Structure 1
Amino acid sequence: MSQQLFTNLAIFILSLLVGFEVMSKIPATLQTPMMSGANAIHGVVVVGAFVIAAEANNVALYILAFLCAFFAAVNVAGGYTLTDRMLHMFDRPKASKNDDGGDK
């Protein structure tokens, strides 16, 4: 194993551990704002897929670039959909037109 691969693997594992610890400490009331910010950051993954596509010079790299772009787009769209659903949980229920507030 080369030194560069070992260094990249160590950074990846440490980032997983730190990310898990940070995410587990966030209270439920902050999950929606945190998710919105994370979704915006995930747009960088889409840019990374475009960089792979620009560097592609054979069929395997074109397929990899397509898969990266597809999964990144699904991740971003799904994150915003989930955030939207979570925000709708805090909406007040709408009163019906026949509800005059009195008991019958």
Structure 2
Amino acid sequence: MNQDALVEQLFALTKDMETAATLADWPRAAELDAARTPLLQALTREQSPQALAKIREIQGIDAAVLADASATRTGLAAEYHAAMKRVNAVNRYQQGARF
């Protein structure tokens, strides 16, 4: 596969990954990222100006998806900790109610 076609395929997978992240379909985003990895590794140093521009766009999308993933993880962790506090409170209530 020539480099321009490779970059186009990478771009398509990246856009699909961006869509999955936007929909909070993180398992799908991870699958797409795994599918991209060998293609990213197949990139060579020499690229056409058009391919370089597309690669920069891919990098920008990757940065945005990573920021979204980080924010989502932080939010989910906060929700998890709040839920665990409620579970502990219910456990304490049940223990006290037994007496």
Regarding TM over 0.5, the answer is no
Normalised by the shorter chain, which TM-score bucket?
Answer: 0.3 to 0.5
Task: Give the structure-1-normalised TM-score.
Answer: 0.38
Higher relative contact order (CA 8 A, sep 6+): 2
Greater helix fraction, Structure 1 or Structure 2: 2
